[in-house]
Structure formats: structure tokens, C-alpha cells
């Protein structure tokens, strides 16, 4: 079941993301969190 925060941010369950092909990789480097799409051409600047 998706969750909506007080700021209206939606958190989707992992299994739903996999069903529709939403995949990403995240990592921490130099004090920053980076989130990258795993599909070419889907990342936005």
C-alpha cells in the first residue's frame, strides 16, 4: 500500500516499482546522497 506523508510525498512499495520497471541505484559520496536511474535516458538533470 502506498503511503503519503504530511508533505504529500508518496512512498511506493518496492514490489510495485519492480512491476512497472522503476529501478534506481543510490549511494553516498562526499557527504551527498546520489540517486540514479538504472535505465538509460530516464534520468533528469
Per residue in 1-17, pLDDT (tens digit) is 788 999 988 888 888 88
39 within 8 A of 45, measured Cβ to Cβ: no
Residue count of the chain: 45
The band of 44, judged by pLDDT with boundaries at 50, 70 and 90, is: low
> pLDDT value at position 29?
92
Write the pLDDT tens digit of every residue in 16-39: 888 888 888 889 999 999 988 877
16 within 8 A of 10, measured Cβ to Cβ: no
On whether the pTM is more than 0.85, the answer is no
> pLDDT value at position 41?
57
> pLDDT value at position 43?
53
Amino acid at each position: 500500500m502506498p503511503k503519503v506523508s504530511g508533505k504529500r510525498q508518496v512512498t511506493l512499495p518496492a514490489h510495485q516499482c519492480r512491476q512497472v520497471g522503476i529501478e534506481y541505484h543510490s549511494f553516498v559520496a562526499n557527504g551527498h546522497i546520489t540517486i540514479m536511474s538504472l535505465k538509460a535516458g530516464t534520468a533528469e538533470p
